[in-house]
Structure 1
Amino acid sequence: MILSLLSALGLCCCNPTGKKTIDESDSLVVTMADSTMVGFGPDSTTLTFEMALDSIYQRGPKKVFQALMAGHSRFSNDSSFVYHSESKIPDSLARLKPFLVLTDIDLDQSVEKIFDMRRSMFIQLSSPACLVDNRQVAAMEYALHFSGTKVILVLSSSGSRIIGAALDNVQTTNFSSILSELSQASKAAPEFADRSSANKAFVNSVAQGQARLSLEKIIQMSPQVKMLADSGKIIMKSAFYDADKRSVTILDREAPLNPSANR
């Protein structure tokens, strides 16, 4: 049971014989596992909740990112437990925010559900189409230095209505600035025949391209963030949430934004 639970949380590794083992550095995990093995531990819900907290709050950035994606896997498989659990998060962890997620304002699902987290576990910044400005980057610098943030995720989403409006050249007093900022991602998208909001594939392509560009812009705007990312002290990723598939895809920073494709 323990190994299956650890595997679901992404906390197992394989030894040279191919057998799954518990990472001995996972203090809470080992303690919980040992107590269960001798027959007087908590029930499986409490066990998995404690293991999730351990992976999220007491690990380096790689483990924290793995915990984030393990939570998303639980959401995709309808097996979320952190979001639904009534167990308390210890007061000693209450001020820490291991994740910072920049989302499109049109994201139609809550971040805590998508990654099976509590709202208190992360900082969420929202902007039109995941565009970034100085204030948001300043908030990221604050989170990294004072809130224990180890992972920054730029999360674009499918069916972004504000991207669709920009592509349709909606005219208001200030909306043209959105279109201007999206121009690079729009131009870099594949050669779709229909480049309007009616073509959802084109809208989603622009959303993914903008997520990558916003990630690079954050790094360019903040030498402090870049230094932490380059040294491996934090992990930064761009990603795309497909609402129809209920799935998050991590976007390759090195992937070209303008693959040759005719649609």
Structure 2
Amino acid sequence: MEEKKGITLNIGGEGLIEDVLTKEELDRLTPSDVIALLKAGNQRFVQGAITLRNHREQVRKAVKGQYPKAIVLSCIDSRVPVEDVFDRGIGDLFVARIAGNFVNEDILGSMEFACHVTGSKLVLVLGHKHCGAIKSVIDDVKLGNITRMLAKLKPALEASSGYDGEKSSTNEDFVQRVTEQNVLLTINQIRKESPILAEMEQKDQIKIIGGIYDMDTGKVDFLEDVT
């Protein structure tokens, strides 16, 4: 048996059986603890050393309740497998996914449920390299409901107007600039439009941070010092 902060791993013949976090164990974790756990998990993912889990057993253990450590807002991109990226198992994370990882009323409500009701300690806005939604807003794509969806990302494009270089979707450096701006603006929007989360962050009950997933390496660069 291997003991880690907030988790107990029982090593058996069918892989690791990770005990589902209890409310008491979650309460003992700080937002910084959760960030450290996600960073360590991402390092294992990058190294190809992700945990072999007994999902069948985890499903049974999670039936009576859930106390995830964090809520992650991610793009819908199928190349960003959020739980795997952080080497987390069943019951570890809330995950909200929408193209371009922006927030709306429903996602804000989901974040408030995760943190204020359930006790999650972290809100992570996760952008990624080579984002199709970001490239589409740069190209001013117009198609059905996609048009209105991309309008939510235009503030990030406008915030990147001072970029000194080719402002096109074929310039990966510019795409990265807009992607980062989108994450930062989304974090600020969460604080502005959710007084509940803003107050929790001010009281150090949660942290609201960003990250960029590098599809080429699997590494997440965390953007913690956002004001």
* Per-residue deviation, 1:120: 2.8
Root-mean-square deviation (CA), in Å? Answer: 3.1
Q: In the alignment, what sits opposite 1:195?
A: 167
Higher relative contact order (CA closer than 8 Å, sequence separation 6+): 2
Counterpart position of 2:116: 145
Q: For the residues of structure 1 that align with 2:126 and 2:74, how far apart are their CA atoms?
A: 5
> Structure 2 CA distance, aligned partners of 1:106 and 1:217?
22
Which residue of 2 is the match for residue 129 of structure 1? 100
Q: Find the aligned partners of 1:149 and 1:116 in 2 and give their Cα distance.
A: 17
Aligned residues: 220
- Within 1, Cα distance between the matches of 2:91 and 2:108? 20
Which one of the candidate residues 23, 36, 39 is aligned to 1:69? Answer: 39
Q: Report the equivalent of 2:197.
A: 225
Question: For the residues of structure 1 that align with 2:78 and 2:100, how far apart are their CA atoms?
Answer: 9
- Bigger mean CA offset, 218-227 vs 63-72: 63-72
- How far does the alpha carbon of each residue in 1:145-171 deviate from its partner, in whole angstroms, 9 at most, with x for none? 232211110000111111111111112
Give, in whole Å, the separation in 1 of the partners of 2:131 and 2:30.
33
Aligned to 1:79: 49
Q: Residue 223 of structure 2 aligns to which amino acid in structure 1? A: L
Q: Is this contact kept in 1: 2:211–2:220, CA < 8 A?
A: yes
Q: Is 2:154 aligned against 1:154?
A: no
Contact kept? 1:102, 1:125, Cα under 8 Å: yes
Percent identity reads 23
Specify the code of the residue in structure 2 equivalent to 1:163.
I
The question of whether the paired residues in 1 share the 8 Å contact of 2:70 and 2:121 is answered with: yes
Range with greater deviation from structure 2 (99-108 or 67-76): 99-108
Distance 2:211 2:183 in 1: 7
* Deviations 1:155-213, CA, capped at 9 Å, x for gaps: 00111111111111112244443443323322332524321211122112111110111
Q: Gapped runs of 5+ residues in structure 2?
A: none
Q: With structure 2 as the length reference, what TM-score do the two structures score?
A: 0.82
Q: 2 CA distance for matches of 1:85 and 1:254? A: 34
Within-5 A mapping of 1:252-263: 252-254=224-226
Give the 3 Å change call, closer, same or farther, for CA 192–108 of structure 1 in structure 2: farther
Which aligned pairs between 1:46-65 and structure 2 lie closer than 5 A?
57=26, 58-65=28-35
Alpha-carbon distance in 2 for matches of 1:28, 1:174: 43
**Which of 186, 199, 208 is the matching residue for 1:236?**
208
Q: 1:45 to 1:112 in 2, by over 3 A?
A: farther
